Amino acid sequence: MKIRKQIVLFIAAMMVLFSCIPDRAKAIGQEKEMNGISAQSAILMEQRSGRVLFEKDAHTKRRIASITKIMTAILAIESGKMNDTVTVSARAVHTEGSSIYLKEGEKIKLRHLVYGLMLRSGNDAAVAIAEHVGGSVEGFVFLMNQKAAEIGMRNTHFANPHGLDDSENHYSTAYDMALLMQYAMKNKEFRKISGTEVYRAPAAPGEDWDRVWRNKNKLLTSLYEYCTGGKTGYTKRAKRTLVTTASKGGMDLIAVTLDAPDDWNDHIAMYEYGFNHYMMAKVNRKRMVKKVRDSFYRKNIQASRDLRYPVMEEEIKELHVKVYLLRPQKEWKKDESSIPTIVGKAVLYLGDKAVDEVPLLYKKSMSKETDHSIWNVFHFLGVGSDG
């Protein structure tokens, strides 16, 4: 009897052991899959949530070259001066490195300069933008660092608007640059410019032909069908730097590489890893409030949007939603105008960690809806759906 009990315990132990092997083997396989990343620093981030799906030395400060121009572009767009006419200075014209061949005294719309900045990486355009938006290059650099602090780029310092190696105090990290791109991609005009393959600008003074700029981002133009935009960079000291975005199956990703000899393939590998191993979990905004039993709220609240978060298959079981509501006050029943607009929140948890939340709004005219099981609340959007 004792021997039989020991055998049963042994079998049970082995079952537990072998039940862990697939997940561990899968994890090891994923690690090997990403070992070929050539970059000294790299990161893959989901755009909306900011969840980091892969990273390699992502918090080390490094030179960043022309991906600096993402900050220059978003500040120009946010300035509200995109239709302004800029007079090009001698300082702008004589900026070294990549150029859109501006002429001193030339008058050109700020919008055209931003396209030339992002598509052709014009250093002359960067200085012209900085002088117009910031009053001077130095004033614009102050705005760049102010915005970096606002975004949460804690390991970043800008010394110029273009990324040239003319200062020892110009650096960032892969993580910080992903934060910057995440911020910039919230802007509709930035998304349009970043994702433009070819742009036509008016001819320079004395020229017969309009300027035609083709995007240097090969992932966008030819190499990766899911790429939606980005910015290239290179200097002798920074080496190759690259920030790109891609969308597939309802999921939007950001990839950053610093000092990457094989950056195009690095980005493709990271994107394929992200799209193959993660999916977007969605809690429908209408269904999340159907679990509310309180008679005061049950027919009268709504969420402003769905809850979403990127997860791996094995994490699905760890997802759950909690609804938090204010305690109804007596005066609310007598005077509906005294009820606050926001009466609570719905929070999505991955295990014990809150990963997304949405305000719950009071709305008198909501119609009655039937209850649904938890299995109908979660929808997992794979490749080829919802996108």
Predicted confidence (pLDDT) per residue in 86-115, tens digit = 999 999 999 999 999 999 999 999 999 999
At 180, phi and psi to the nearest 5? -65, -45
| Mean pLDDT of the 304-323 span | 93
- Write out pLDDT tens, residues 216-239: 999 999 999 999 999 999 999 999
- Rounded Cα–Cα distance for residues 4 and 22 (Å): 29
Q: Is 365 a catalytic residue?
A: no
Higher pLDDT, 338 or 177: 177
Distance (Å, whole) CA 257 – CA 67: 10
Mean pLDDT in residue range 313-323: 93
- The reported pLDDT for the residue numbered 364 is 58
Q: Give per-residue pLDDT as tens, 53-70.
A: 999 999 999 999 999 999
pLDDT at 331: 86
CA–CA separation, 136 vs 192, rounded Å?
27
SS3 helix, strand, coil % of the chain, rounded to 5? 35, 25, 35
304 part of the active site: no
Q: Which long-range contacts (CB under 8 A, 24 or more apart) does 338-341 make?
A: none
Question: Is the pLDDT confidence value at 381 over 50?
Answer: no
Does position 311 have pLDDT exceeding 70, yes or no?
yes
Across the chain, mean pLDDT equals 87
At residue 193 the predicted structure's pLDDT band, cuts being 50, 70 and 90, is very high
3-state secondary structure of 271: helix
What gap in Å lies between CA 130 and CA 117, rounded to an integer? 11
Q: Where are the domains of the chain?
A: 41-277, 280-381
Q: How many C-alpha atoms does 26 have within 13 Å on its Cβ side? A: 11
**Catalytic residue from among 41, 66, 98, 194:** 66
Backbone angles phi, psi at 224, to 5 degrees: -145, 110
Annotated binding site for substrate: 231
Q: What percent of the chain has pLDDT over 90?
A: 71
Using 50, 70 and 90 to split pLDDT, how confident is the model at 33? low
Q: Where is 362: in which H helix or E strand? A: strand 353-362
Residue 66 annotated as catalytic:
yes
**Residue 365 pLDDT greater than 60, yes or no:** no
Between 4 and 204, the higher pLDDT residue: 204
The correct CATH number of 41-277 out of 3.40.50.300, 3.40.50.970, 3.40.710.10, 3.30.300.180 is 3.40.710.10
Determine the distance from the C-alpha atom of residue 58 to the mean position of all C-alpha atoms in its chain, rounded to a whole number. 15
Give the Cα separation of 161 and 69 in Å (integer): 6
Taking residues 169-194, what's their average pLDDT?
A: 98
Specify binding-site residues. 231
- Convert 99-109 to b/e letters by CB count within 10 Å (16 or more is b): bbebeeebebb
Most confidently modeled range among 12-16, 150-154, 291-295: 150-154
Q: What confidence category does residue 299 fall into, taking pLDDT thresholds of 50, 70 and 90?
A: confident
pLDDT surpassing 80 at residue 16: no
User: Catalytic pick from 41, 56, 69, 216?
Assistant: 69
Question: Is 2.30.30.30 the CATH classification of the domain at 280-381?
Answer: no
pLDDT score recorded for residue 233: 98
CA angle 89, 91, 92 (to 5 degrees): 70
Question: What is the helix (H) or strand (E) element at residue 273, kind and residue range?
Answer: helix 263-277
- Residue of 41, 121, 172, 194 marked active site: 121
User: Between 14 and 99, whose confidence is greater?
Assistant: 99
Longest dimension (CA), the chain: 101
Task: Please enumerate in sequence order all residues whose Cβ is within 8 A of that of 110, keeping only pairs 6 or more positions apart, or say none.
Answer: 76, 79, 81, 82, 83, 84, 85, 86, 129, 132, 133
How does residue 31 score in pLDDT terms, banded at 50, 70 and 90?
low
- Tokens for 99? 């150029």
**HEC letters along 282-335:** EECCCCCCCCCCCCCCCCCEEECCCEEEEECHHHHHHEEEEEEECCCCHHHHHC
Q: Specify the higher pLDDT residue, 386 or 107.
A: 107
**Mean pLDDT of the region 361-366:** 68
Full-model pTM: 0.84
More confident residue, 206 or 62: 62
Contact between 39 and 257 (Cβ < 8 Å): yes
Residue 150: pLDDT band with limits 50, 70, 90: very high
Pairing of strands 41-46, 251-258: antiparallel
- Which uninterrupted H or E stretch holds 189? helix 188-194
385 confidence band (pLDDT: 50, 70, 90): very low
Of 38, 262, 74, whose CA–CA distance to 158 is shortest?
A: 74
